[in-house]
Amino acid sequence: MKKASVGSEMKKQRESQCTQKTISLLSPLGTIQVSGCENGVHTIQILMDVAPAERSSAAPLSCVVTDSPAETSPEMQRCVEWLQAYFTEPQTAGSLPLPAFHHPALQGDAFTSRVLQVLLRDVKFGETVSYKRLAEMAGNPRAVRAVGGAMRRNPVPLLIPCHRVISSSGQSGPYMSGRGDHLKQWLLTHERQRGEG
């Protein structure tokens, strides 16, 4: 028992030694803040500071950096490039490399980590999966509620596409603990429309 607490304490110290930097982007969803360090991306936050952009075939969508530290890690830059592609040329985002992730929820073999990794690997652009099916894919068909919990704890939405997880009835289900349901609809429609083009 003591050994485990010492190990987790050392892990916390390593993580706290990260020098995190934040990049802000103005996207069709409003401001997105990406935080990370040299080792990878820690979190992505969608601030919901504006209503999602209206889609129009005449006006292309954009995603521009509005605030950035003088120096950013290659992993942070890779994340920015991926997000920009996702909004402006989504059909190309799947071929771009994802940044490394550096968040405890994505490390190890805990159920949350496993669910998020399966979602990232197996549910592609424009596809959806039910909470129940994702639980099955992650190896525990009875863990439907735990899948919902994993979606709530996803530190890097958009990159790990928790918006693609829907209820078995076909309803979209909650996003960002219910505060971002309209964003989930926007993202699913964005992927459907762009996937057809």
Residues with active-site annotation: 162
Give dist(CA 24, CA 140) in Å, integer.
Answer: 37
Q: Are 160 and 119 in contact (CB under 8 A)?
A: yes
Q: Which amino acid is at 90?
A: P
Q: Reduced to 3 states, what is the DSSP secondary structure of residue 102?
A: coil
148 closest CA partner among 170, 160, 130: 130
Give dist(CA 72, CA 34) in Å, integer.
Answer: 11
102 closest CA partner among 33, 44, 42: 42
Q: Are 172 and 178 in contact (CB under 8 A)?
A: no
Beta carbons within 10 angstroms of residue 109's beta carbon: 7
